[in-house]
């Protein structure tokens, strides 16, 4: 399947999922915790008056959060359904002057409106929908101001919780991220290819004009989001595991062996 065909399937899948996307996260304590950690990370790097370009913005959860914290956001997504949910939030919260949106793939940032930007942000593995990150990152320099930053949240090839499933006889799930050719994901009955990227993959894709500033693991010690009932069944244990996560999230190997990792780069063209 070509990248174009794959992204068409991604578009269809997430448009269907947009109907339940917000409700699912509201019920998922793990996802809510992961999003809070990511937001803390980006707020640490954002500067006052930064203009943010959010890729694969979904229903606008992070766009609204950033706008309510004083940042202008241009949110792009490939899914009409996701962007419609975002627009409804913008209208309801009266954020039209702070949040703009555009139906656009992150592979077509050369066509984007409203630039240049001071910060690029992509959350929760949207970029895992492409096998070659360079088809996205090659556009970054065209849309960024100098001395800007980029934060990407990506699923890596090694997740300790998934590897541990081998002891429960779930060999396929335990080893799925290790397949270099990627795996087939299924969302709302629509199948598409998902690829897992290491930090070295991301660094290579970003190129020499981007310097890696910070690497942080996200759910290294605590369970991944699909174990949705874990916090409810073991609340005290979950609290301790997320506490360990925060302490170890910047320490090797926990800053790269996780459900996701967060990487932030500084853009300083030579």
Q: Give the pLDDT confidence of 65-116 residue by residue, as tens digits.
A: 999 999 999 999 999 999 999 999 999 999 999 999 999 999 999 999 999 9
Is 0.95 topped by the overall pTM?
yes
Classify 52 in phi/psi space as left (phi over 0), alpha (psi -120 to 50) or beta: beta
Indicate if the pLDDT at residue 171 is higher than 90.
no
Separation CA 133–CA 185 (nearest Å): 18
d(CA 236, CA 182): 35
Are 219 and 28 spatial neighbours (Cβ–Cβ below 8 Å)?
no
Indicate if the pLDDT at residue 268 is higher than 90.
Answer: no
Whether residue 112 contacts residue 57, with contact meaning beta carbons closer than 8 Å, is answered with: no
Share of the chain above pLDDT 90, in %: 93
| Rounded CA separation 112/250 (Å) | 34
Candidates 1.10.3720.10, 3.40.50.1400, 3.40.50.150, 3.40.50.720; CATH matching 3-267: 3.40.50.150
What confidence category does residue 160 fall into, taking pLDDT thresholds of 50, 70 and 90? very high
| Interatomic CA distance for residues 122 and 104, integer angstroms | 14
| Mean pLDDT score across all residues of the chain | 96
Render pLDDT for 222-244 as a digit per residue (tens, 0 to 9).
999 999 999 999 999 999 999 99
């Amino acid at each position: 399947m070509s990248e174009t065909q794959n992204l068409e399937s991604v578009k269809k899948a997430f448009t269907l999922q947009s109907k339940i996307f917000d409700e699912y996260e509201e019920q998922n304590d793990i996802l809510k915790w992961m999003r809070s950690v990511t937001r803390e990370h980006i707020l640490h790097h954002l500067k006052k008056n930064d203009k943010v370009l959010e890729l694969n913005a979904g229903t606008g959860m992070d766009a609204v959060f950033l706008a309510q914290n004083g940042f202008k956001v241009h949110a792009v997504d490939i899914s009409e359904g996701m962007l419609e949910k975002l627009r409804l939030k913008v209208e309801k919260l009266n954020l039209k002057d702070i949040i703009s949106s555009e139906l656009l793939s992150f592979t077509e940032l050369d066509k984007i409106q409203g630039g240049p930007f001071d910060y690029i942000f992509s959350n929760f593995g949207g970029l895992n929908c492409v096998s070659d990150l360079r088809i996205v990152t090659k556009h970054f320099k065209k849309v960024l101001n100098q001395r800007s930053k980029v934060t990407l949240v990506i699923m890596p090839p090694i997740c300790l919780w998934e590897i541990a499933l081998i002891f429960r006889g779930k060999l396929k799930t335990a080893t799925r991220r290790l397949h270099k050719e990627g795996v087939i994901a299924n969302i709302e009955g629509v199948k598409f290819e998902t690829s897992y990227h290491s930090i070295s993959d991301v660094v290579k894709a970003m190129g020499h004009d981007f310097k890696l500033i910070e690497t942080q693991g996200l759910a290294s010690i605590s369970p991944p989001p699909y174990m949705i009932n874990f916090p409810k069944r073991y609340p005290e244990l979950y609290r301790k595991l997320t506490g360990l996560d925060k302490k170890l999230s910047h320490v090797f190997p926990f800053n790269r062996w996780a459900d996701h990792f967060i990487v932030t780069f500084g853009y300083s063209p030579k």
